[in-house]
Amino acid sequence: MRQFTPIRTEPAYRKVADALLARITDRSLSPGERLPAETELARQFGVNRSTVREAMRELQSHGLVSRARGSRRMMISLPPHDVVAGGVSRALALHNVTALHVWEALTLLQPPIAAAAARRRTAADLRALEACAAAAAREDNGLAESVHAAAEFFRAMGRAAHNPVLSLAQEPLLQLLQPSLRKMIDRVPQARARIASAQRQLLTAVRARDAVAAESWMGKHVRDFRRGYELAGLGLNDPLTAAEAAAA
């Protein structure tokens, strides 16, 4: 006779967290809505207050609940993109994702994002892109600042596309890219100038609402990263580590 699969048992706090998560994901609980007090939740679930508190910690770690200043009650919140993407980045790293994999994904994703940004950007989006480009072009930037500015330009472009799916889809890739980008910029002095030049061209296209030029220049910009990696002597086929993804 085939053996039975062991019955899965979970801690009570996990069951409470799952029950709340189900209400959040089916929109029964909306962002900004306050949850009952811990004592009331404990009564409704038939558990100890400490169990509810542990469930709240788990949901809070994923950005699904938060406590407003001055309030003792939790409310439903939208998890930030970086929190959601952080788990994806770590999972990709654990599946032996390489810099080449990330680069290939960016060549497919970033040009359409730039085209959408050129068509849909608002004046506020343009100001955000200009601020990112200005930060990247500063000559007194340290290495960490330069890497951060390069990644923030991509994020600002994603927001300007006004498609939350595209914006969220790029975030795990950017988190994985940043550690190796740091090494590339450190080893290739001309990389900063080339990044700044590409950003200026992209700004011109987005400002003019020229989707074709924005898509073309973003393609060139992403392709140039591979050339920079090769000049830096970085192994494109080396797996990115989970530690690198977490540090992005």
* pTM attached to this predicted model: 0.79
Q: What is the mean pLDDT of the chain?
A: 90
* Of 188, 181, 192, the residue nearest 232 (C-alpha): 188
Query: 81-247, superfamily in CATH?
Result: GntR ligand-binding domain-like (1.20.120.530)
Do the beta carbons of residue 65 and residue 29 sit within 8 Å? no
Residue range(s) occupied by CATH 1.10.10.10 in the chain: 12-76
Q: Domain 12-76: give its CATH code.
A: 1.10.10.10
pLDDT band at 245 (very low <50, low <70, confident <90, very high): very low
Q: Can you give the pLDDT at residue 70?
A: 79
Q: Element (H or E) spanning 65, and its range?
A: strand 65-67
Q: Rounded distance, CA 28 to CA 137, Å?
A: 46
Residue range(s) occupied by CATH 1.20.120.530 in the chain: 81-247
User: pLDDT per residue over 52-71, tens digit each?
Assistant: 999 999 999 888 999 888 78
Q: Can you give the pLDDT at residue 248?
A: 44
Of the listed ranges 93-102, 107-116, 217-226, 239-248, the least confidently predicted one is: 239-248
Q: Can you give the pLDDT at residue 164?
A: 92
Q: Which distant-in-sequence residues (6+ apart) come within 8 Å of 139 by Cβ?
A: none
Q: Looking at residues 24-33, what average pLDDT do you find? A: 92
User: pLDDT per residue over 165-208, tens digit each?
Assistant: 999 999 999 988 888 888 899 999 899 999 999 999 999 999 99
